[in-house]
Amino acid sequence: MKIKHLVSGIALSMGASVLSVSAMAADTIKVGVLHSLSGTMAISETTLKDTVLMMVEEQNKKGGLLGKKLEAVVVDPASNWPLFAEKTRELLTKDQVDVIFGCWTSVSRKSALPVLEELNGLMFYPVQYEGEESSKNVFYTGAAPNQQAIPAVDYLMNDLGVKRWVLAGTDYVYPRTTNKILEAYLKAKGVAEEDIMINYTPFGHSDWQSIVSDIKSFGAEGKKTAVVSTINGDANVPFYKELGNQGISAEDIPVVAFSVGEEELSGLDTKPLVGHLAAWNYFQSVESDANSAFISQWKAFTGNPDRVTNDPMEATYIGFKMWTQAVEKAGTTDVDAVEQAMIGQETENLTGGMAYMNKNHHLSKPVLIGEIQDDGQFEVVWETEGVVPGDAWSDFLPGSKDLIADWTAPISCGNYNTVTKTCSGQNY
Amino acid sequence: MRYINAICACLLGLLISTSVLAEPPSEAQQPLLLELTEVKLNKALPVLQQLETTEGADMLALFKTMLNGDLYYEKESKRLIAALKEQSVTRYTDLFSGEELNDLSKNQVSKIKVNNKLRGYLGEAIARMQLNHPDSVVRKDAVRSLFSDLGANTIELIRTARLKEQSRSVQDVMDVALALYRTEHAAEATDRLQAVKVLEGSLEPEVRNQLTRLAENDPSRSVRKAAQTGLDKIDQKAEMYGFINQLFFGLSLGSVLLLAAIGLAITFGVMGVINMAHGEMIMLGAYTTYVVQLMLPNMIEYSLWIAVPLAFMVSGLAGILIERLVIRHLHGRPLETLLATFGISLILQQMVRTVFSPLNRQVATPDWMSGSIEINPLLSLTLNRLYIVAFALLVFMILLIVLKKTSLGLNVRAVSQNRDMAKAMGIRTDRVDALTFGLGSGIAGIAGVALSQLTNVGPNLGQAYIIDSFMVVVFGGVGNLWGTLVAAFTLGVANKFIEPVTGAVLASILVLVFIILFIQKRPKGLFPQKGRAAE
């Protein structure tokens, strides 16, 4: 059985290399776009599809890549997680794309991952996520927890003097993992058990009365309190509304959110949100030449002067730039060559400074904390000095403390245990 | 309490931001004001602190404008400007002379930024300045918002103000503030004991925290004992108010369930049509509110009153159309009806996605529905919930009257009890069917107006409520309006009492399990229909 598996694996990988050769022979380089264009995630993911199309168009204006034109192949996995795996297979075998930009939710990435590894594809994943993963075939250009959650907590603790913590999240994998990391981190910083309140709510929760009232009484004990929110999507609006109605303002109990960006704010009344915080690697309001050029390019591309930009768009932008640089450096679109050429690539952040691709396939990026303004934009109130390298395996979880990811020789492994000196090779 | 105060301050600020400072700034203040326009956000606090203490013009208006985020300066002259936003137009006035600066454009001014730290400071500084405000309510809120930060300077200000204070209730909070300070700083145990006695009976959270500290750490035994007694009294009251609070939360969730389900109680309960598009009728009502606000941007305050009848008509007409075009032809075939209406619900969702956008739409909450009434520091009821409880009951009563007292109601009941007999008596059952379905859908539309104030207005709005609605109607007993009422409030209250113990996720699961078990035992719900018609 095992041998049979091995043989089929070899056959497949040979097939894949034959395919990639035939793809190279074609006169275009194909860029796969794997973002949901329908269903619940369409709201967020359509924007990223357009971003990739914009980047492809721009690259073609510059004369393409390796003397060939880029061609975008767009598929719609329809917010349906198993469909992500099927569409990945379709992109890699039928369309024979050279690279894929795609996925938003962690569960969709976990669904596409086995296919990518089996067919040796290459994917850029542009969204902040819970970490605990590093695949040879994926580059993670969004933030790992140490590039978003941990700095945000540091800011609250050191600058605002927060002593009591509410970790509120939607009940699924990203908030649960992030909160686990945060809880361990806070305890390591000497926060007592009774000063941490953890709360989970279902997707789309709309009745926040009791929870907000609990937060209010939790915060009335005399110590400065903050809410660290991993509440997802739609549920945020009624949450902030209830905070406003129960009279909790950002000065009393600030809420720092990891999934509320410019795009999400554009659909709601920001009055009750002013002063609450968000942690990202990018804000539209940051003033820099690269950013204003990007924003006007985006507005022109979409033909809508009111469109906003957000963090996952910057992550897509950086990923795309780095990929083109790596292809140029490798002189080919062959996945293994590009993968090695990617490590150590540098490109300009839209917020200034350089983003750097590390050996663990995660970026080094600056972390910004912004306060929500009444116009739906963020005002940066704090940023890290210099860039923070993304950590694939959290240092604060018992299971992943000893793990590192290093895709260069001699380790070449996504989860190398520094104590036992072994590589388990398991990502999902 | 101090939250409310912050809101009050904001509202007041809105009123005042057009008004101006009485006198021009003094020479000592001028360089500080200039510095305010140049300083980095994280260095602004000392500048503001100096402004508060420097002699000269009253800085109240400046601080309030800044707290609201309406403080700008002209880039060229560096003079400070207050901005007043009215819909899409922004009007600028010179902060000190009050001169209207209509020819200023957006590019000529720059905003003076605020962050939470500054907002916190500004709130307190404004409170300190308002200790002598002519309105006793403002004075009282000012004192209470200072509770969290009672330094020696602030205490001195309160002490001076206390001497002049006439209003009894303001005197009381001032005494509490002074006593709080004394329990902390008085050297003599008897002094502290006296102060603890003053604190007794106050429900402010700061008092409770201070008593907790005293009961644990005070060197004097008698003070510790007195603090413990005070603490016990507060805890007793807190428990009672906590219970009332939870009850209110339950009733409010119940009223949302009632609103969502009551239309279904008619279409499903009375007519027996399994209408999967019921949620989309709610959605149409919510979008009607959005359109009303879009069309009449200057009448946000009245938009809900305009939206209620409109939403009734829009959803009602949609309901009648659905009944005439689809459901009529599927009479007596529940499975096909279910599938057909489910299809309609998908069509309506996609229609909304295409016409409006897949993104959620922004529906503003009128000011009279924002904020909360504070009964005491431990118990405050949010206004929007309060209105919705009242509104749900009102809709219920009206519907009850329509069904019991009007000829339409009589016809509806006759048709639902025995269609053939009703037909034989000359009732046009076709027309009654259409009207009943329209009525149920219209009521769902009204529910949508109310829900637009609580949750997101988007294409998925309806789906979030369809399950809850069926749950309530089935639990209450099909065909019984009172059953729906009792079921909605029972489920709401039960949910809210379970939630603090188990968390929100488990609470809704437990409620569902309970309903499943209940339906096993009593398949016809709380109030089953009796008589031959029921069989």
Residue A7 is predicted with a pLDDT of 44
Substitution target in A245, A287, A369 with the highest count of B β-carbons within 10 Å is: A245
Contact list in B for residue A244 (CB cut-off 8 A) is 370
- The residue among A201, A146, A141 whose CA lies nearest residue A170 is A201
Tell which wins on pLDDT, A59 or B273. A59
User: What are the structure tokens assigned to B200, written together?
Assistant: 């007794």
Cβ within 8 Å, pair A238-B209: no
Cβ within 8 Å, pair A222-B249: no
* Domain assignment of residue A231, yes or no: yes
Architecture of the CATH domain B240-373+392-534: Orthogonal Bundle (1.10)
| Chain B nearest CA to A377, separation (Å) | 13
Cβ within 8 Å, pair B205-A222: yes
Pairing assessment for the beta strands A413-417 and A422-423 based on DSSP bridges: antiparallel
Cβ within 8 Å, pair B363-A234: no
- The residue among A250, A223, A217 whose CA lies nearest residue A161 is A223
Tell which wins on pLDDT, B59 or B393. B393
* Domain assignment of residue A36, yes or no: yes
- The residue among B504, B493, B509, B508 whose CA lies nearest residue B249 is B493
> With an 8 Å Cβ cutoff, is B297 touching chain A?
no
> Is the predicted pLDDT of residue B255 greater than 90, yes or no?
yes
> With an 8 Å Cβ cutoff, is B2 touching chain A?
yes
- Report the b/e string of B124-162 with b at 16+ CB within 10 A: bbbbbbbbebeeeebbbbbbbbbbbebeeebbebbeebb
Contact list in A for residue B496 (CB cut-off 8 A) is 209-210
Long-range CB pairs of B193-198, under 8 A, 24+ apart, other chains included: B193/B220, B193/B222, B193/B223, B193/B226, B196/B223, B196/B226, B196/B227, B196/B230, B197/B226
The answer to whether the beta carbons of residues B479 and B530 sit under 8 Å apart is: no
How many domains in chain A? 2
Number of H helices, E strands in chain A: 12, 19
Per this entry, what is the length of chain B?
Answer: 535
- For residues A100 and A153, membership in a common domain is answered with no
A52 Cβ neighbours under 8 A, 6+ residues apart: A31, A33, A35, A72, A101, A316, A320
Residue B209: Cβ-neighbour burial (10 angstroms; 0-12, 13-18, 19+): middle
| Residue B263 identity (one-letter amino acid) | G
Tell which wins on pLDDT, B243 or B110. B243
| Domain membership of residue A221 as a residue range | 149-257
Final residue before a domain boundary, out of A330, A345, A365: A365
CA B282 – CA B263 distance, rounded (Å) = 9
> With an 8 Å Cβ cutoff, is B454 touching chain A?
yes
Pairing assessment for the beta strands A99-102 and A28-34 based on DSSP bridges: parallel
Cβ within 8 Å, pair B361-A381: no
In percent, how much of chain B has pLDDT > 70?
A: 94
CA B151 – CA B173 distance, rounded (Å) = 16
Which one-letter DSSP state was computed for residue A90?
I
The torsion angles phi and psi of A120, rounded to 5 degrees, stand at 50, 55
C-alpha distances out from residue B253 to A231, B383, B392, B494, B505, Å: 21, 14, 11, 10, 15
| Chain B nearest CA to A189, separation (Å) | 23
Q: Cβ atoms within 10 A of the Cβ of B85, count?
A: 15
The answer to whether the beta carbons of residues A326 and A341 sit under 8 Å apart is: yes
| Residue B295 identity (one-letter amino acid) | M
- For residues A57 and A158, membership in a common domain is answered with no
Of the pLDDT bands very low, low, confident and very high (cuts 50, 70, 90), residue B180 is confident
| Chain B nearest CA to A105, separation (Å) | 18
Residue B11 is predicted with a pLDDT of 45
Out of B362, B454, B505, closest to residue A171 by CB: B505
Out of A210, A221, A245, closest to residue B496 by CB: A210
Cβ within 8 Å, pair A210-B503: no
Contact list in B for residue A234 (CB cut-off 8 A) is 360, 456, 458, 460
- For residues A237 and A312, membership in a common domain is answered with no
Size of interface A-B (CB pairs under 8 A): 130
* Domain assignment of residue A271, yes or no: no
* Domain assignment of residue A13, yes or no: yes
Cβ within 8 Å, pair A202-B454: no
C-alpha distances out from residue A134 to A137, A212, A338, A359, A423, Å: 9, 37, 17, 10, 12
User: What's the mean per-residue pLDDT of chain B?
Assistant: 85
The answer to whether the beta carbons of residues A284 and A295 sit under 8 Å apart is: yes
- For residues A161 and A51, membership in a common domain is answered with no
| Chain B nearest CA to A128, separation (Å) | 21
- For residues A131 and A25, membership in a common domain is answered with yes
The answer to whether the beta carbons of residues B345 and B279 sit under 8 Å apart is: yes
The angle formed by the CA atoms of residues B104, B107 and B111, to the nearest 5 degrees, is: 90
Q: What is the mean pLDDT of residues B252-269?
A: 90
For tokens 């750490």, name the residue.
B217
Cβ within 8 Å, pair B119-A250: yes
Cβ within 8 Å, pair A371-B41: no
What's the pLDDT tens digit per position in B337-365?
999 999 999 999 888 888 887 777 888 88
CA B120 – CA B118 distance, rounded (Å) = 5
B475 Cβ neighbours under 8 A, 6+ residues apart: B483, B487, B490, B491, B515, B518, B519, B525, B526
- The residue among A220, A241, A88, A207 whose CA lies nearest residue B363 is A241
- For residues A139 and A13, membership in a common domain is answered with yes
* Domain assignment of residue A277, yes or no: no
pLDDT tens digits, chain A, 428 residues: what are they? 444 454 444 444 444 444 444 444 458 999 999 998 877 677 788 899 999 999 999 999 999 999 999 999 999 998 888 999 999 999 999 999 999 999 998 889 999 999 999 999 999 999 999 888 999 999 999 999 999 999 999 999 998 889 999 999 988 888 998 999 999 999 999 999 999 999 999 877 888 988 999 999 898 888 899 999 998 777 887 888 888 888 888 888 999 999 888 887 876 677 778 889 999 999 999 988 999 999 999 999 999 888 899 999 999 999 999 999 999 999 999 999 999 999 999 999 999 889 999 999 999 999 999 999 888 899 888 888 889 999 999 988 888 888 889 998 888 888 888 888 888 766 54
3-state helix, strand, coil in chain B (%, to 5): 70, 5, 20
Q: What is the mean pLDDT of residues B219-233?
A: 88
User: What are the structure tokens assigned to B396, written together?
Assistant: 């219920």
- The residue among B62, B93, B356 whose CA lies nearest residue A43 is B356
Out of A43, A246, A251, closest to residue B116 by CB: A251
Residue B446 is predicted with a pLDDT of 95
Residue B107 is predicted with a pLDDT of 76
Residue A426 is predicted with a pLDDT of 66
For tokens 């529906």, name the residue.
B363
Cβ within 8 Å, pair A247-B3: yes
Q: Cβ atoms within 10 A of the Cβ of A201, count?
A: 24
User: What are the structure tokens assigned to B420, written together?
Assistant: 């053939």
* Domain assignment of residue A135, yes or no: yes
Residue B531 is predicted with a pLDDT of 61
Cβ within 8 Å, pair A267-B460: no
- For residues A230 and A310, membership in a common domain is answered with no
Contact list in A for residue B44 (CB cut-off 8 A) is none
- For residues A134 and A182, membership in a common domain is answered with no
Residues of B (90-109) whose Cβ lies below 8 Å from A? none
CA A239 – CA A234 distance, rounded (Å) = 9
| Chain A nearest CA to B53, separation (Å) | 23
CA B200 – CA B148 distance, rounded (Å) = 18
What ranges in A90-138 are assigned the alpha helix state H? Answer: 106-119
- The residue among B524, B348, B328, B333 whose CA lies nearest residue B444 is B348
Of the pLDDT bands very low, low, confident and very high (cuts 50, 70, 90), residue B502 is confident
* Domain assignment of residue A168, yes or no: yes
Q: What is the CA radius of gyration of chain A?
A: 22
Contact list in A for residue B382 (CB cut-off 8 A) is 209, 242, 245-246
Contact list in A for residue B69 (CB cut-off 8 A) is 274, 373-374
Per this entry, what is the length of chain A?
Answer: 428
Cβ within 8 Å, pair A251-B6: yes
C-alpha distances out from residue A285 to A291, A293, A301, B351, B357, Å: 9, 13, 19, 34, 25
> With an 8 Å Cβ cutoff, is B7 touching chain A?
yes
Alpha carbon A376 to its chain centroid, in Å, reads: 21
Of the pLDDT bands very low, low, confident and very high (cuts 50, 70, 90), residue B292 is very high
| Chain A nearest CA to B116, separation (Å) | 5
> Is the predicted pLDDT of residue B234 greater than 60, yes or no?
yes
Does residue A396 come out as left (phi exceeding 0), alpha (psi in the -120 to 50 range) or beta? alpha
Is pTM, for the whole model, over 0.90? no
Cβ within 8 Å, pair A269-B117: no
| Chain A nearest CA to B508, separation (Å) | 9
The answer to whether the beta carbons of residues A132 and A394 sit under 8 Å apart is: yes
| Chain A nearest CA to B504, separation (Å) | 5
Tell me the torsion sign for CA atoms A212, A217, A218, A219. Answer: positive
The answer to whether the beta carbons of residues A261 and A311 sit under 8 Å apart is: yes
Residue A232 is predicted with a pLDDT of 79
Residue A427 is predicted with a pLDDT of 58
- For residues A346 and A245, membership in a common domain is answered with no
Of the pLDDT bands very low, low, confident and very high (cuts 50, 70, 90), residue B534 is low
Q: Cβ atoms within 10 A of the Cβ of B204, count?
A: 23
Which one-letter DSSP state was computed for residue B365?
P
Which one-letter DSSP state was computed for residue A362?
B
Three-class SS state of B42: helix
Substitution target in A163, A210, A374 with the highest count of B β-carbons within 10 Å is: A210
Dihedral angle, C-alpha A121, A122, A124, A128, nearest 10 °? 60
Which one-letter DSSP state was computed for residue A400?
T
| Chain B nearest CA to A230, separation (Å) | 15
Q: So where are chain B's domains?
A: 2-133, 240-373+392-534
CA A265 – CA A232 distance, rounded (Å) = 13
Cβ within 8 Å, pair B504-A373: no
Residue A18 is predicted with a pLDDT of 40
Q: Cβ atoms within 10 A of the Cβ of A263, count?
A: 20
- For residues A38 and A101, membership in a common domain is answered with yes
> With an 8 Å Cβ cutoff, is B144 touching chain A?
no
> Is the predicted pLDDT of residue B17 greater than 50, yes or no?
no
Report the CATH number that the domain containing residue A137 is assigned in CATH.
Answer: 3.40.50.2300
* Domain assignment of residue A303, yes or no: yes
| Chain A nearest CA to B279, separation (Å) | 15
- For residues A11 and A140, membership in a common domain is answered with yes
Cβ within 8 Å, pair B460-A234: yes
Residues of B (253-292) whose Cβ lies below 8 Å from A? 253, 256
